[in-house]
Amino acid sequence: MTEKTKLILSQTINAAIIAGILIFCVGGYYTVIKAGIPYQDPPLELQIQYAVNMKIGEILTGMGFRLALCGSLVRLVWNLIGKTHRRHDPIVLMEPTAAYADDIWQFRQEIIASDDRDKFAGCGSLEQCASAQEWIDAIRRNKSEETCQKDLVPSRIDIAVRKRDNRIVGIIELRYHINHPILGTWGGHIGYYVRPGERRRGYAKEMLRQTLRSCKRLNIHKVLITCDDDNPASEKVIRANGGVFEKNITVDGHVMKRYWITVDNT
């Protein structure tokens, strides 16, 4: 099920609950106000009108109550299922190889088709490459200071592979330093992207956790990582891995948050 489908279903459930509450309130209005305490010895016409309003009120309150109750129960089940699905399967970070070329290219197509504002975050030159192999070769060159592209800094890019089915669920880049005007301001040491259909399952948090362990081996002791101000999911991932907020900055009209992670504390 795609994220868009999940969103539509969630909104439909919420709409059903709200509609049930509104219908119940309208039914209460008919029952209490329009069919309330009648005049003493009212004429037959008013008696009929009171009876009709009371019946309408009973139907609407009953209908509204059932709709709101069913919607609430469905919401409860939906949340329980969502929590179960968000428990991620074990993943491993590895350097991309030709064995994953088809999945890499499919991943690329899914990024292009997504509605994300920050497409290809942490994916290096995947957007510009004409093939998966070209991207793999570029990653290998950029690992070394001697062979790295001139306008970049040395880095490693890993694919996050789910062990259960050998499927790529994300891509993450670790830059060895941020002595660069963009990286030192808002790019940071680490960028990552989780496959659109694999989100809200804890993969981003685990990808970052494993990458921070690599930082220790590379003697990177403090890591700058940023996220958009309107991206609470990414901010939650950063905080969960020890991120400490420094300040907000504005980049091309967008507010971004700068966080620092002390690697020795993770």
Q: Where are the domains of the chain?
A: 3-85, 91-265
Confidence of residue 87 (pLDDT cuts 50, 70, 90): low
* The pLDDT of residue 110: 96
pLDDT, the chain, mean: 91
Rounded to whole angstroms, the Cα distance separating 177 from 24 reads: 61
Burial class (CB in 10 A: 0-12, 13-18, 19+), 260: middle
In the predicted structure, residue 84 carries a pLDDT above the cut 60? no
Using one digit for the tens of pLDDT, what is the confidence trace for 7-43? 788 889 999 999 999 999 999 998 888 876 656 677 7
Residue 220 has pLDDT above 80, yes or no: yes
Torsion over CA of 153, 212, 167 and 11, rounded to 10 degrees? Answer: -100
Which residues does 100 contact at the CB level (< 8 Å), separation at least 6?
132, 159, 161, 168
pLDDT greater at residue 79 or residue 178: 178
pLDDT in the model for residue 10: 86
For residues 199, 247, 154, 162, the Cα torsion angle rounded to the nearest 10 degrees is -20
- Residue 18, both tokens: 């709200």
What architecture does CATH give domain 91-265? 3-Layer(aba) Sandwich (3.40)
- Mean local confidence (pLDDT), 43-47: 79
pTM of the model: 0.69
